[in-house]
Amino acid sequence: MAPCQSLLFLFIISLYVTLTAPANSLPAFFPPPAAYQSLIKQAKAPKPNLPFKTHYFPQTLDHFTFHPKSYKIFNQKYLINTQYWHKGAPIFVYTGNEGHIDWFAANTGFMLDIAPKFKDLIVFIEHRFYGESMPFGKDSYKSAKTLGYLTSQEALGDFAVLIRSLKQNLSSETSPVVVFGGSYGGMLAAWFRLKYPHIAIGALASSAPILQFDKIIPWSSFYDAVSQDFMFSFITKTKRGIQDVSQNCYEVIKGSWAELETISTQKEGLAELSKAFRTCKRLHLTASVLGWLWTAFVYTAMVNYPTEANFLKPLPAYPVQRICKIIDKYPSGATKLSRAFAAASLYYNYSQTENCFEVEHEVNTHGLHGWDWQTCTEMVMPMTCSSESMFPQTGFDYKMFAEQCQMKYGVSPRQHWITTEFGGEVSIFYSFMSLSIQIVLRNISVSIIALVTEKGAHHVDFWAATKDAPDWLVELRRQEVEIIQKWLKEYYLDLRQA
């Protein structure tokens, strides 16, 4: 069987965990990747050249109450492409996730690829409190009083209102709507179909971890899957049959944490780490190095695409394999931590443009900070690291997590709200790029379809088609198109018979 591939979305991993290491070692309460992201400076991303026109919709602040302040209007950004569309033809909508909508549009070429076939209108809607869609302008992140309007339910309401208004303005109210989303956007697409079935006839939710809530699946699933990526990153054939050649990769990364912990106890440990990790500025926290390495290995597993890509950072095809080759080819006398640094450097500096690393002050170009608030309110997705993981063994302490949220925002997480509001499995079809158990991996019914491939990476099916795309990816996209065709055929048949 092929190895599990990672698939969890970008900033789902912001929940805090508790190290089982001794109290006098690395900080017992440390920020895994996304919490580490909250330390990162904001910066404007270069605007991609996209075949869309930008529009702004006068959106209502609060769809679910009738207090006077609920009627406040803010401008919600959306992108539109009408190249192949005609009145009555389908409308394909991307339900924006936690970042600038241009970023997701630039990395969802699949919707543009299939537009000539379906003659559809393409719409990308930006999620409230991200990108330019700030309800309170520069004060949107000021306090819990403003951030309180950043919820998945309000976002779904935004999508519903905007879609209905768009159809009315186009005088094409019979146009069927299919929603698309990847990662958190995939969760939103699935939930939109569940909550607004009269607006969307179907949804394609790619790499959407809707089962990561409560105790639906084991909390260690994600990091176990990431670890297996590095354990089985590539397979070779020998005269004796198939042989795994990357066990060393897994063992080196797993052993590097103990070496980091040892250095952290030394008097000049931070100075030594600053030099070893070529930091642009002297380090203040050993945990920053842990987060820097952790982020590189997790995100590389997520974006282990079969072709060169620049979603999070510029990376080669199959970057996990490249990382493991770096580790395997390193001199035998080198420490595990030095090998881990060399491997992680591929993630941060594949383009060979960095002379030093901003380990504690990296620039965030995608506008992701709202996710910290979402994890502190409704997106409570517990994660742990088992003894089988290549990461330090951890547990999830809800009380400690809630205290951190209280300290930062003055609010407590609603641990069971998502499963109360949406349930665990919804009526939709999913495409998943791996074998893992964070998401639905089997058909629930004839209309609730799961497409699963043993290869792949984080919503790789949404990338634009390329001539060097592997056969399994071409076939996966063909199946997705076939399912959408079936939905539309049934819709138009029902419309004619009505």
Higher model confidence: residue 7 or residue 53? 53
Q: What is the pLDDT of residue 1?
A: 33
Per-residue tokens: 13: 């991993």
Q: Which CATH superfamily is domain 12-44+218-364 in?
A: Serine carboxypeptidase S28, SKS domain (1.20.120.980)
141 phi and psi angles, rounded to 5 deg: -100, 15
State the average pLDDT over residues 52-64: 98
Share of the chain above pLDDT 70, in %: 81
* Residue 455 CB partners (closer than 8 Å, separation 6+): 2, 5, 306, 433, 434, 470, 472, 473
Nearest partner of 14 among 355, 381, 262, judged by Cα: 381
Please check whether residue 213 is in contact with residue 424, taking contact to mean a CB–CB distance below 8 angstroms: yes
Q: With DSSP H G I counted as helix, E B as strand and the rest as coil, what are the percentages for the chain, rounded to 5? A: 40, 15, 45
- Give the pLDDT score at 431: 43
Beta strands 177-182; 91-95: pairing state: parallel
Q: Where in the chain is the domain with CATH 3.40.50.1820?
A: 53-214+418-497
Question: How does pLDDT run across 195-222, given as a tens digit for each residue?
Answer: 999 999 999 988 888 888 988 889 998 9
Percentage of the chain with pLDDT > 90?
A: 66
Least Cα distance to 372 among 12, 132, 7 occurs for 12
Amino acid 1 reads M
Residue with tokens 């809707």: 210
pLDDT at 191 over 70: yes
111 versus 333: the higher-pLDDT residue is 111
Residue 420's φ and ψ, nearest 5 degrees, are: -70, -40
- For CA atoms 178, 179, 183, 188, the dihedral sign is negative
Residues forming CATH 1.20.120.980 domain(s) in the chain = 12-44+218-364
Where does the pLDDT of residue 167 fall: very low under 50, low under 70, confident under 90, or very high at 90 and above? very high
Query: Position of tokens 């609010």?
Result: 411
Model confidence at 367, pLDDT cuts 50, 70, 90, reads: low
Nearest CA-CA partner of 109 in 171, 48, 65: 48
When mean pLDDT is compared across 228-232, 270-274, 368-372, 435-439, the lowest value belongs to 435-439
Architecture of domain 53-214+418-497: 3-Layer(aba) Sandwich (3.40)
Lowest mean pLDDT among 12-26, 371-385, 450-464: 12-26
Nearest to 182 by CA among 439, 437, 413: 439
Question: Across the chain, what does the average pLDDT equal?
Answer: 84
pLDDT value at position 110?
Answer: 96
CA distance 107 to 116: 18
